[in-house]
Amino acid sequence: MGGTLTVAITGASGRMGGELLDAAAVHDDVGFVLAASRTPESVPSGDAPGAPDAVVRDADLGAALDEYDADVLVDFTVPDASLDYLRAAADNGVAVVVGTTGYDDEGAETLDAVADEVPFLRASNFSRGVAALRRAVREAVAALPGYDIEVTETHHNGKRDAPSGTALTILDDIDDARQNQDADRVHGRVGEQPREGDEIGVHARRAGDVTGEHEVLLAGNEEVLELTHRAGSRGIFAAGALDAAVWLAGRDAGRYDFDEVLDAGADDTDTDSR
């Protein structure tokens, strides 16, 4: 590691935690990695690939954030645990990047409170391809008024929340593009279920070890348009989250959006190409 940023990674013994550790180990801007886990003995150590510089139990995260002077906490866990981690970050003035989904209303209020205290960036998906998909969906929906819309997402058989956070974000994008916040979302269909009005069909599939697939289908005027993104590995989400962490560090408290990270990257690329 050659960078200067100190990154804390929660859920370090989980699947996404492992991807984040691997990505941090090769990220030019990350200089120190603090890992937190309920089972720290399961986290790589020593010379193992992706081994962090320090490992603590999640119960000791708050003190460790202060001891190691963490810049950003990156969290891809589950809602209940995530809220504890985010509170610890806010108490220590540490910026947070959040990829956890499935919060209830009370959890969402906690996120708002954290964003009032520290720089806060939450995204349902940190893939650059998904960001491009969302932009394409907004344009397509606006250009094809009156077309029927169906959204389908597929994930591995261990994913807990359904529909996925990314699918919910895409549904919000569709509502915004149609300037209609009241469209019915019909989750699956069984029995006699003809389409009604401008409803949106929503379908969640859970199978095998699928990393993530999202498809938006628009049909009307004797034509069909399908926009699809397939993730090949969780590594793309980890890389995007760390890019967000680097961009977020040192900013003022408040909410930020992953699109801002992508736009900043595009500006840097344009500058380098001159």
Q: How far is C-alpha 251 from the chain's CA centre? A: 19
How would you label 100-120 residue by residue, b for 16+ Cβ within 10 Å and e otherwise? bbbbeeebeebbeebbebbbb
Nearest to 217 by CA among 229, 225, 208: 225
Q: Name, in order, each residue with C-beta under 8 angstroms of 165's C-beta and a sequence gap of 6 or more.
A: 101, 102, 124, 125
Q: Identity (one letter) of the amino acid at 86?
A: L
How would you label 217-243 residue by residue, b for 16+ Cβ within 10 Å and e otherwise? bbeeeeeebebebebeebebbbbbbbb
User: Which two tokens mark 96?
Assistant: 């947070």
Nearest to 71 by CA among 98, 97, 94: 94
Residue 155 known to be catalytic: yes
Residue 159 known to be catalytic: yes
Q: Single out the catalytic residue among 155, 203, 214, 229.
A: 155
User: Which two tokens mark 97?
Assistant: 């990047």
Q: How far is C-alpha 270 from the chain's CA centre? A: 26
> In sequence order, what are the beta bridge partners of 95?
72
Spatial separation of the C-alpha atoms in residues 81 and 100, rounded to whole Å = 10
End-to-end Cα distance, the chain: 29
Nearest to 91 by CA among 121, 112, 61: 61
> In sequence order, what are the beta bridge partners of 224?
219
Q: Single out the catalytic residue among 27, 156, 159, 203.
A: 159
Give the active site residues.
Answer: 155, 159
